[in-house]
Each structure stands twice: as structure tokens, then as C-alpha cells.
Amino acid sequence: MKQVNRLASTLMGGALLIAIAVVVASGQQKPSGAARPAGEPVATVEKGGEDEFGPYEPVANWPQPLSKEWTWGRTGGVWAESPDRVFVLQTGEIPLPLPKHPANTGLWGAGIPTYAAVDFPGTRHTNQFLVFGKDGKLIESVEQWKDLWVHPHSIKMNPYDPEHHVWALDGRSESGECAEQIFKFTHDLKKVVMKLGEYKVQGDDEYHFGGPTDLAFFPNGDFLVADGYRNGRVVHYDKNGKFVSQFGSKGTGPGQFRQVHGVAIDSRGRIYAADRGNGRIQVFDQSGKLLEIWPNIRFPDDIAITQDADGEHLWVADGDTSRFVKYDLNGRMLYHFGAFGTQPGRFWGIHRFSTDADGNLYTAEVYGGRSQKLVPRKGADPNHIIGQFLGFKAAR
């Protein structure tokens, strides 16, 4: 018992000495205005701030306006081939000042388009397929293909394609008309080398679609089509566009879809489908067998398997919560950022996103009616930066 008491006294005495030392050291600290010896480091503490843009900073005036008389319409697609060549798809241009429309009143503020450009009076179907440079200046408006478009939806490239073709889809929800087609362009955008689907003809057979939304590619050149608005299926084609198989149907049960809006493939060949209407991600093997379901994801508009600083992950762009969300490949949420708004760096209806080899992030926002470029913030955690999409090695 005496040993216990001695131990307690020793510990208490030691704690007292430490406390006295801390107080003395505190008392020896110089007031903020006092002179410091040469070479003594000065601690810098940044005050305030909300980490509003996560690990990024928005780039002002990117892309640069095309005109003083016209503004962006519904911006559905974006793809960064490199920092110097970024594709943007929009449905058309809206005249300024913006026409009166129920969407432009009330909570959302003045002058923010929330419907497809074709719904606005005076809309012109020009500058739908655009290419921008690093500084946001227009490189090219691909007007020679304007007769293809009804509702430009998404644009992608195949990371395993040595010829670097450019793919685009024209699809739309149940409420509107679309071309129901998929186009494969040469890298210089001068030729269409493959066309799937029949113009404005809806179907659910091997070569007709019902609102196609997205593409994903296998290393051997095969590809998947998320045929998502009306049909609720994923269709597999070989590299020449020959039908291979399909899986999924319209519904709410396991393996069914309500607006399958995005599709991605990981390095093990597992297929991830953004089942937007059901608020979930579904994971399949290559035969279409359902492996698992990740529930409670509010509105997954776009998904990508990325090569991040800390490994391979799935990033989700949620069009409802205006967030980017990072998951490991077991479905565990690791990080998220993003806030709703129309200010630079905020998001409204993230429809598609892309990254380049410099770590820059690009968005296409259907309700905000714009594309944005965000650059990694100095000192940001590299594990919070969205990496290049799987298969892409470097800027071309």
C-alpha cells in the first residue's frame, strides 16, 4: 500500500512540475509586437475560410464567352483530351438578355437557364460542338456536323485507342426528342467512321436505342453503351460495333435500372452502372451478373474509375447534392467536396466531368448552363484530387 502511495505521489509531483514548466514557458513567450532574435521562425496561421472548393480553385472566365449577344445553353458534355484540347457539348445558344421563363424566377435567381436550350424562344442551334484551349479561347466550333444533333448529351475518348477517336452520344430523357445515336469521329473531327442507332428512331433491339447516355471501354476495344433513359440497359459491342450482349431492364429491383446515366469499368473488368433514377451504383461482372449494390447515392449523374495518388477509386458526380464523392472499390465513401450555386467554383447540375494530365478538373452543368475549369489548389491533399481516368497515361 505504501508503494502505491509513493507511486501516486511521484506521478502527481511529476505532473505538477510539467504544469509549472508549461506556465513558465508560456510566460516567457514574447508579445506579438516584441522584437524577435534574427533567424527565429514566425508561425503563420491562416484565419477564416471555408474550404469552399475542396482541393481546387476555379479558373475565372474559362471558357471565354463566345459572344456578347448569346450565352450558353444546357451544357451536357465535356472531355479534356489534354490541357490544350477540351471538348464541350451544349444544346445551343440562348439570346441575351435571357427571355422570360418560369425557370428564371424565384429561388434560383435571375437569368439562370434550367431547361434545354431548345426550350427557350429564339435559341439557335449553333456552337453545339466546341473545342477550347488551355486559356479558354475557342479553337474550333465543329459546325459541319450540326445536322447530326438533336440533343447532344455526352462526349468521350477511348484510352486504349492508338488513333484517338472522339465519341459522342445524342440522347435525352423520356420528355424529349433525341437522335438516338452514337457517333465515332476521327481525331481531327473531319469524318464519322462509325454510327450506331437510327436517326430519331427509338428501339430496344441490338442496334436501336432509347436515350443513350454514356460509354465505357475495355482494353481490347470493346465498349459498353448505357442505354439509359427509356430502355434501362447496358449494351456490349465489339470494337467494330457488332452487338455482343446486353443486361438490365427497366425497374427498381436488383439488376434493373431507372435512368442508367453513367457506366465505368475498373482494372479487374468489373462494370459500374450509375442507376441515377434509383439513387444507387450497381456493380456487375463482364457477363452482366450483379455483384453488389451501393445504395443511398442521391443522384449519380456521372461516374469514373480514376488513377488517384492513393490508388484506383470510383468518383461520382452527384447532380442533386452538387458534390463530387470518392469511393473505394468496395463502396466505402472516403471524401467529398462541392457546393450548390452559380458562382465560379460551385455547381448546379453536374452532368459530366473530366480531368487532364495536369490534374485540372472540368465540369459540364446542365442547370448552370456552363462548363468550368478548376485547378488543384497549392498545398491541397493529393488524395483529394480526382486523378486521370483509368487507362490514360499522359496528355497527348
Residue 124 pLDDT:
87
Rounded to an integer, what distance in angstroms lies between the CA atom of residue 80 and that of residue 307? Answer: 16
CATH entry 2.40.160.10 includes domain 56-389? no
Instruction: Name the residue type at position 372.
Output: Q
d(CA 386, CA 326): 8
Q: For 375, list phi and psi in degrees, rounded to 5.
A: -110, 150
Give one DSSP letter per residue of 81-116, joined into a string. Answer: EETTEEEEEES-EEESSPPP-GGGSGGG-TT---S-
Q: Which of 165, 158, 164, 163 is nearest to 184 (CA)?
A: 165
Residue-range domain boundaries for the chain: 56-389
Nearest to 263 by CA among 308, 316, 221: 316
- Please give the chain's pLDDT, 396 residues, in tens: 444 444 444 444 444 443 433 333 444 444 444 454 555 555 566 788 888 899 999 999 999 998 999 888 889 999 999 999 999 999 888 888 765 554 444 333 334 444 444 456 677 889 999 999 999 999 999 999 999 999 999 999 999 999 999 999 999 876 678 999 999 999 999 999 999 999 999 999 999 999 999 999 999 999 999 998 999 999 999 999 999 999 999 999 999 999 999 999 999 999 999 999 999 999 999 999 999 999 999 999 999 999 999 999 999 999 999 999 999 999 999 999 999 988 999 999 999 999 999 999 999 998 888 999 999 999 999 999 999 999 998 544
CA distances (Å), origin 130, targets 20, 336, 358: 69, 30, 21
Task: Give the model's pLDDT for residue 367.
Answer: 84
DSSP 284-353: E-TT--EEEEE---S-EEEEEEEEETTEEEEEEEETTTTEEEEE-TTS-EEEEE--BSSSTT-BSSEEEE
CA gap 252, 300 in Å, rounded: 15
Distance of alpha carbon 266 from the chain centroid: 17
- pLDDT at position 31: 43
pTM for this prediction: 0.85
